[in-house]
Amino acid sequence: MIEEIEELRRQALAEIAAAVELQALEELRVRHLGRRSRLREAMSQLGSLPADQRPALGATSGGAQKAIQEALDQRRATLIEAAEGGTALDVTLPGHRPLRGRLHPLNSLAEELSSIFQRLGFAVVDGPEMEDEYHNFDALNTPADHPARDLHATFYLEGGGLLRTHTSTVQIRIMETTPPPVRVVAPGRCYRRDTVDATHHFVFHQIEGLYVDRHVSMADLKGTIEAMGRQLLGPQTKVRFRPHFFPFTEPSVEYDFSCSLCRGEGRGCRVCKGTGWVEISGAGMVDPAVFAAVGYDPERYTGFAFGAGIDRIAMIRYGIDDIRLFLESDLRFTRQF
Ligand code: DAH
């Protein structure tokens, strides 16, 4: 009998220690100390035992009763405290799903573009957004009275300087500090005093490319632009060069990709407005005047340069019809990419 009571005590204490709710604790109290519990039953039989056995059994069952009661009280206090302090760990509750961050669509596109060019052997570089007139215009063969300057509605900064209107500034910064050959791309923000509407913003993004070496030709430029178009919009993508003017390239072109949505068919396509082509940006062979500004020998070296509008490419690729969405930080929009 003594052994049985000791076993009862062990079991009760283990169950109490494992109880996580007050309700369960109350059930344990009834079961182990209640009027119809095995312990009470044993105690009620004490009187009928031979006198020499009574003290030992009495001590064992009394001790068990006391230990169980104490364990119940203690466990009860712990549970109440935990509930009030909010520290109870309920492993059955659903967990908090951690919010996963991700790249903004323009950043991930800039990274994708960068890696396309890295595979072609270009290094990724950057330059300052706060610039001076020299790097934004003069060194790019756009002197003060040049009409092309009017096309760039520029934010001038108090105390001199300006916000760069294009990433072409980085061409100058790189050539100033690096002897040829150079092969770089520079993604980044640009600013113009444009009136904001669905297709214009005062902040936009470009990636600039520059390749200078001996014997670089227009064919290299076209091949490079074509490789970009195919990797960005699919292997069927075609490239079209249209004659254009930029002060820092001669000859200069604007280039288009065949529309990836209608596959160049046009007819009612909302991305290419029915033309079958989407305009990306400008490019050309680096003007000798630009080489002169950075001290490269135009007799020895030739080069090509190009820009690409990252916002524009993102709009074409994802069928976005309002550039403002990129800068509104509305998670309902940015989470879709
Ligand atoms: N910087 C020009 C713009 O923002 C784009 C451009 C045209 C970049 C021709 C070039 C280039 O590198 O060669 O409109």
Confidence of residue 151 (pLDDT cuts 50, 70, 90): low
Ligand 1 proximity of 312 Cβ (cutoff 6 Å): no
In sign, the C-alpha dihedral spanning 231, 233, 237, 238 is negative
Compute the distance between CA of residue 251 and CA of residue 244 in angstroms, rounded to an integer. Answer: 8
Measured in Å, residue 102 CA sits from the centre of ligand 1 at 30
Q: Where are the alpha helices (DSSP H) in 263-309?
A: 288-294
Looking from the CA of residue 284, the nearest atom of ligand 1 is 13
Please give the C-alpha separations between residue 67 and each of 3, 11, 12, 72, 74, in angstroms, as whole numbers. 16, 12, 9, 9, 11
Angle at 113 between CA 169 and CA 247, to 5 degrees: 30
Measured in Å, residue 98 CA sits from the centre of ligand 1 at 42
CB 225 within 8 A of CB 306: yes
Which backbone phi and psi does 73 adopt, to 5 degrees? -60, -45
What are the tens digits of pLDDT across the range 214-263?
A: 999 999 999 999 999 999 999 999 999 999 999 999 999 999 999 888 88
Q: What percent of the chain has pLDDT over 70?
A: 98
pLDDT at 2: 83
What are the tens digits of pLDDT across the range 156-189?
A: 999 899 999 999 999 999 999 999 999 999 999 9
Mean pLDDT along residues 111-120: 97
Measured in Å, residue 245 CA sits from the centre of ligand 1 at 10
Measured in Å, residue 168 CA sits from the centre of ligand 1 at 6
pTM for this entry: 0.72
* Residue ranges with strand state E in 142-275: 162-163, 182-191, 203-213, 239-246, 249-258
What are the tens digits of pLDDT across the range 5-38?
A: 888 889 888 888 888 888 888 888 888 888 888 8
Looking from the CA of residue 168, the nearest atom of ligand 1 is 1
Ligand 1 proximity of 293 Cβ (cutoff 6 Å): no
Evaluate if residue 149 carries a pLDDT over 80.
Answer: no
What is the signed CA dihedral for 312, 313, 315, 318, rounded to 10 degrees? 180
